[in-house]
Structures are given as C-alpha cells and as structure tokens.
Amino acid sequence: MRVSIPYGSSRISCDITDSRLRAVLAPTLPNASAKNPGDELVKASLARPVGSLPLRELARGKKRVVILSSDHTRPVPSAVIMPLLLEEIRGGNPGADITILVATGCHRCTTDDELEKRYGTEIVRTVKIVVHDSRDESGHVAAGTLPSGGELVLNRLAVEADLLVAEGFIEPHFFAGFSGGRKSVLPGVAAYRTVLANHCAEFIASPGARTGILEGNPIHRDMVYAARKAGLAFICNVVLDPEKRIVAAFSGDMEKAHEEGCAFLARFAKVQAAPADIVITGNGGYPLDQNIYQAVKSMTAAEASCRPGGVIIEAAECRDGHGGEAFFHAFRDIPTPRGVQESILTRGRDSTEPDQWEIQIFARILTNHPVILVSSAPRETAEYMNMKWASSLQDALALAEEILGDGNATVTVIPDGVSVIVDAAGN
C-alpha cells in the first residue's frame, strides 16, 4: 500500500506491505461541500450564536473593539472569517474603532508579508493591525492571579477594549485538550511570564493535560479564567477539513460555543489506537510543520499508538528549522532525554523556563521511543536533538527496521497527527 503524508505545501509517500500495515488512523470529518461554502457556514453561525447576543448587538455603543486573531503558525482562514466579523461589528456600530490584535503567544512576530497573505490587501490597508509581543512589558497590564497561582498579565489593548472578540479554529491539542476559544487570550495575548506559569512542569505532566481532555485539565482551567478576566465576549471558531477548508463554524459565548465545537470535532477526530512497532506521522503540512518545535504535537499522537520501545517516524518539512533556541539547546548540558525530563520535573510552578513544556513532552517521547525525522532541516539539527534523520519516508522505514532488527515490523500510519485524538485506552 502506498501511504501519503502532508509535508510542507505538498505530500511525501512510501510503500508498505499490506501484511505489515496495522491501520491508517485519520479523522472522519466530512469534506467541505460546495452546497455549504465556508463563508456561508460562518455567516450562519454568526446569525445564531451559542449562549450570546449576536455580535452586532454586542457592538452597539462600544467604542474600542479588539479582535484577537491567530498568527502565522495556524491555518485559520482569516481571509474568510475576518471580513464577516468586521461586517457584523460595523453593522451594529459603524463608528467603532477596530483593532486586529494578532495573538502570537510566545511565537515570533508575524511579518508584513504573512499579514497580507492572511487577511488580504484590503484589510491590511484599512484596518489597524497590532502584533502581540509577549516580551514587551510596556504593552502589558496586570489582570489578577490565575487559579494556579501564576501572575496574570495580558496585552493592554485586549484588557482595555470595550468589546473583545476572537477568531480561531478548533483542533485537538496535545496538552490544552483542544485549540481555540480561550487560547486566544492565554497564551495568545499573555505576557511571557504568564505563559510560563500556565505551562509549568506539574501541569504538563498531569494526566488531565492530554489531547481531547478539557474536564480536569489544569491548563484549560487557567486559560478559561484568563479569558473571562480579559472580558472575551464573543468568539467565532471554525473546524477545518484536511484541505484546511471550513466544514463547521461555532460563534457566541467563549465557553459555550467552544465546547459545542469541541464536542462536534471529537465525534470525528477520535480514533482507536492500533499499537505497532513503527508509527509514521506528520504535522498536517504547512504551516503547522514549519519547525521541529511544532512537530512535537503530532509525535504525541504517534506515541499513543506505538508499542513500548517502538520507533516513531515524523515527517515535517521544518522550513523554519528547529523553532526556538531554548528548545534546540535543551540537551546541550544534559545529553540524555531521561535526564532532561527528570530535571524539568523538579521545577516548581514559578520556575518554568523558556520552551520548557515542549522540551518536557519531547523528552518524554524520546525517553520511550527512537524518533526518525524526515525533513529538510539539516541532519545535524536532528541528531543534536537526539533524533535520527532521513531524507525520505522509504529511507526512514528502512532505518526503523534496522533499529528494531525486524524487516517485518508492523506499521501504523497517522497522516496528520494533530487532527486526531488517539484513544489508547479503548474508551
């Protein structure tokens, strides 16, 4: 059987003998329909918001309106959603002073070219756009204390807005349960130190901080609190098919609409683990596979379906390289993944270091599984980070067989590891 994995802006493939293939795990989301185009789905959700007045009603009398928008690392179809949000706001308040605040979290700032590609020339030319910088203390304001005890510091524009709105999309998330909703605030427009507090070692290690889990998730609890304190009044979140087209939209109250969207997605995204000697996965192509940092997300899906000691093959283009200096150099002073993991687990909630959460999860995976990276990133980068490197999926499969000493090792394929919730417990 020929299996294909999204890779950058294209795909890569390899052949696997039928007798060795355990399963191909993929969501069963319906494909976008010409009868229900994405803009019509968004319009319909805005017309029937969940647990909220329509956005145009909320906008009446509000002078300063801020729309939180996902950054360049997320495939949110802002060119579809943003014009409809602007139309709704102006429909209720033509004179509103509107700012789009790009919720970068701790990522690098979005470039002008990326803004143009995301929103289109007209919006970039006519609407004020500000890119959040989590390290710019002058642009932040204290907003209280998180349930976990961390200091809540948020972008001043968001906190001081008369109406705070967010666009986004919902997908499984490897420690927040699901993306979207409250994540536009924390980590989206939070100060760096607030993100560190929320992403502490204790919470990342919690069994509740896993893909598809909201109830009992300490990270989610902090995020909801932050969004409420910021005054997030309305969201418009979409669910995307494998081609990144809108198949459903959920608008309204930031908790109720988000929960409805998560429940919808879970019906299609949950797949039963098929434990195998080798698991091949990818990060869904660009933009989510633009660096190794982001690629850890899909490795967690592979981890959930890989037998103890089995090999994970990660196909990620990584056109931006490793994705963070702290992440890249994590193994410099402590050369073994187990040592890295044990060191992190000794840190308290107030001692979180940059990129620690991604390092912690990556170290957990590497402690239990050899990982082979198929990527345009340099071989030296992969090997520095305790991985093997291969130039193709077929070469990676041969290398995995060599590591295991078994030319007939079983294989499970998860083409887009960030799109599924792998149920390893049979729930």
- Per-residue pLDDT tens for 93-105? 999 999 999 999 9
32 domain residue, yes or no: no
Domain for residue 135, yes or no? Answer: yes
Q: Which among 144, 139, 145 has a CA at the least distance from the CA of 157?
A: 139
Note the pLDDT of residue 426. 60
DSSP string, 277-345: EEEEEEB-STTTTSSHHHHHHHHHHHHTTEEEEEEEEEE---TTTTS-HHHHGGGSSS-SHHHHHHHHH
Residue 255: what are its φ and ψ, rounded to 5°? Answer: -95, -50
Instruction: Identify the band that residue 136 occupies on the pLDDT scale cut at 50, 70 and 90.
Output: very high
Beta-strand relationship, 276-282 and 10-15: unpaired
* pLDDT of 403 over the 90 cut: yes
Whole-number pLDDT of residue 129: 97
Reported as a single tens digit per residue, the pLDDT across 299-349 is 999 999 999 999 999 999 999 999 888 899 998 788 899 999 999 999 988
Owning domain of residue 186: 38-268
Same domain, 185 and 251: yes
The chain-wide mean pLDDT, for the chain, equals 95
Catalytic residues: 107, 173
DSSP state, residue 105: T
Residues 50, 181 within the same domain: yes
Q: 154, 226 in Cβ contact below 8 A?
A: yes
Asked, for residue 210, whether it belongs to a domain, the answer is: yes
Residue type at position 288: L
CATH code, 134: 3.40.50.11440
261 and 318 co-located in one domain: no
End-of-domain residue from the set 249, 268, 287: 268
Instruction: With a cut of 70, say whether residue 127 has pLDDT above it.
Output: yes
Co-location of 260 and 283 in the same domain = no
Q: How many domains does the chain have?
A: 2
Q: Which among 268, 291, 316 is the end of a domain? A: 268
Burial of 8-45, coded b for 16+ CB within 10 Å and e otherwise, reads beeebebebeeebbbbbbbbebeebeeeeebbebbbeb
pLDDT of the residue at 349? 86
In a domain, 160, yes or no: yes
Please say if the pLDDT value at position 156 is more than 80: yes
User: Within this chain, do residues 286 and 229 fall inside the same structural domain, yes or no?
Assistant: no
Residue 300 lies in a domain: yes
- Whether residues 131 and 224 fall in one domain: yes
pLDDT value at residue 427: 56
Mean pLDDT across the stretch 382-402? Answer: 97
